[in-house]
Amino acid sequence: MVQNKVMGLIVQKYGGSSVADADGMKRVAARIVATKRAGNQVVVVVSAMGDTTDELIDLANQITPIPIGRELDMLLTAGERISMALLAMAISNLGHEARSFTGSQAGVITDSAHGRARIIDVSPGRIQEAIKEGAIAIVAGFQGVSQDTKDITTLGRGGSDTTAVALAAALDADVCEIYTDVDGVFTADPRVVPTARKLKSVTYEEMLELAASGAKVLHLRCVEYARRYEMPIHVRSSFSTNEGTWVVKNQPEGDIMEQAIISGIAHDKSEAKITIVGVPDRTGVAARIFQAIADADINIDMIVQNVSAASTGLTDISFTLPKSEGPNATSTLQRIQGEVGFASIQYDDQIGKLSLIGAGMRSHPGVTANFFAAMSEAGVNIEMISTSEIRISIVCRAADLERGVRAAHTAFELDGEPGEAVVYGGSGR
Ligand code: ADP
Ligand code: ASP
Ligand code: MG
């Protein structure tokens, strides 16, 4: 971090649970003003209030089951607009000038993929002007404008984190603070594991795996962005003044000493499993299936192919994918069923994914054995497995998932003092 600046530039992001109602807005406004009064320039990114985004999606679904991407994005960005204007009012009430900006006004330029747009450039001229003139800039999170179509886009669920880090990088901020409803990044989701421990620091590498495996405390792309620009992130609670978790390139020596083999356990209930039954075991068949899936723009996660029974020459292929892609994937596969010649498709949305993450795994070969023993003791049946250098993931029944997370947490001696993992707000939705 830059130490020799007289004034710091801090980007703060407040999530939906931090600004769930008028009192929350006022509490957050006071905190922002205090940061400004301490001599910093402040840029704030804000999310939609409480569960507004979910409610807007529900509303759209009452009109049509498959809303048009452009219009859904237009609808959802309204949530963040409400927040930014109210927050600017609350700050101005406290005697400070605040100016709110939509993502487009803040110069967040994206590609044109509605609902999951990628930021391709940030030109924050108006934000720089505002802070130069002494104002606090408030930016609507999770949104931008497409370079090609000039339409309004959204960055995917949880995307305000990415807005914050992208702006912090473009403004060359000293730090990006992510304020949420828990005290930092924990060894597991505090809503599931009451004895979870707060991590003092975590590397970008580990945080990427945690975020990719379902720990929604940080949006995956925000961590990718932070790693690329080496922007330090401080994840902390807007409801307490406790020091949070630093997401950094290299952990301080002291934190490494303290660290267990496993840094964290993530879980994810948002995926489903498709099994293609009776697939002819011939060269090129898997390629044909996954080409069709890719052409339909469906991201898949784990894949398992069974050994074919010699007598039949048929095999089964299973893969996991986001539940939201289920209908698209099923109809895509049905279209190529005749050509490929498989027997049937099974769709299962009652699965859960549990992942162990830790750089310490590289040098500890016994992790998999301990993990599987813990799952077996907890009565959790393992249906699929995938690994990376610093992660092991399994798929199990959704109903067994939380029990499995708690069992693994205990087995790897991650349990801390009860009471450390406070959940201050949010509905967990
Ligand atoms: P916000 O509205 O502030 O963006 P989110 O709901 O997106 O908040 O993210 C915070 C939530 O992430 C926490 O309330 C917690 O339930 C969940 N979470 C999942 N895994 C973790 C973890 N390892 N550490 C902390 N929080 C986690
Ligand atoms: N409001 C958006 C969502 O709920 C973006 C965010 O909160 O980060 O996904
Ligand atoms: Mg979030």
pLDDT at 74: 98
Q: Which residues pair with 304 in a beta bridge?
A: 318
Percent of the chain with pLDDT over 70: 98
HSE (side-chain half, CA atoms, 13 Å) at 236: 17
Predicted confidence (pLDDT) per residue in 57-95, tens digit: 999 999 998 899 999 999 999 999 999 999 999 999 999
Residue 145: pLDDT over 90? yes
DSSP state of 305: E
pLDDT at 7: 64
Distance 161 CA to ligand 2 centre (A): 9
User: What is the residue whose two structure tokens read 């912090």?
Assistant: 168
Q: What angle, rounded to 10 degrees, do the helices at 69-93 and 22-37 form?
A: 60
pLDDT at 232: 97
Q: Which residues pair with 395 in a beta bridge?
A: 353, 384
Whole-prediction pTM = 0.94
Q: Can you list the alpha helix ranges (DSSP code H) found in 171-247?
A: 204-212, 220-229
Is 181 a pocket residue for ligand 1 (Cβ < 6 Å)?
A: yes
Superfamily for domain range 8-181 = Acetylglutamate kinase-like (3.40.1160.10)
For 197, list phi and psi in degrees, rounded to 5: -110, 145
User: Which of the two residues, 403 and 260, has the higher pLDDT score?
Assistant: 403
Residue 213: pLDDT over 70? yes
pLDDT at 6: 53
Is 426 a pocket residue for ligand 1 (Cβ < 6 Å)?
A: yes
User: What is the residue whose two structure tokens read 């509605």?
Assistant: 114
Pick from 119-133, 253-267, 390-404: least confident: 253-267
CB 146 within 8 A of CB 110: yes
- Residues in Cβ contact with 311 at an 8 Å cutoff, skipping those fewer than 6 apart: none
Predicted confidence (pLDDT) per residue in 240-291, tens digit: 999 999 999 998 887 776 677 899 999 999 999 999 999 998 899 999 999 9
pLDDT at 65: 83
Q: What value does the mean pLDDT take over residues 349-358?
A: 97
Rounded CA-CA distance 166/225 in Å is 7
pLDDT at 3: 45
Predicted confidence (pLDDT) per residue in 20-63, tens digit: 999 999 999 999 999 999 999 999 999 999 999 999 999 999 99
- Residues in Cβ contact with 296 at an 8 Å cutoff, skipping those fewer than 6 apart: 328, 329, 332
Residue 112: pLDDT over 60? yes
Is 185 a pocket residue for ligand 1 (Cβ < 6 Å)?
A: yes
Distance 76 CA to ligand 2 centre (A): 9
Is 326 a pocket residue for ligand 2 (Cβ < 6 Å)?
A: no
CB 119 within 8 A of CB 144: yes
pLDDT at 134: 96
User: What is the residue whose two structure tokens read 């002007």?
Assistant: 129
pLDDT confidence bin for 362, thresholds 50/70/90: confident
State the ligand closest to the CA atom of 207: 1
Distance 275 CA to ligand 1 centre (A): 31
Rounded CA-CA distance 142/47 in Å is 7
Q: Which residues pair with 388 in a beta bridge?
A: 391
Neighbours of 427 (CB within 10 A): 11
Distance 219 CA to ligand 2 centre (A): 10
Distance 84 CA to ligand 2 centre (A): 13
Average pLDDT, the chain: 94
Q: What value does the mean pLDDT take over residues 204-229?
A: 96
pLDDT at 1: 45
Is 222 a pocket residue for ligand 1 (Cβ < 6 Å)?
A: no
Distance 160 CA to ligand 2 centre (A): 6
Measure CA 150 to chain center: 26
Rounded CA-CA distance 233/219 in Å is 12
Q: 320 in helix, strand or coil? A: strand
Rounded CA-CA distance 162/152 in Å is 16
In terms of Cβ atoms closer than 10 Å to its own Cβ (0-12, 13-18, 19+), residue 64 is exposed
Residue 5: pLDDT over 80? no
HSE (side-chain half, CA atoms, 13 Å) at 16: 21
Is 50 a pocket residue for ligand 2 (Cβ < 6 Å)?
A: no
Is 79 a pocket residue for ligand 2 (Cβ < 6 Å)?
A: yes
Report the nearest atom of ligand 1 relative to the CA of 192: 16
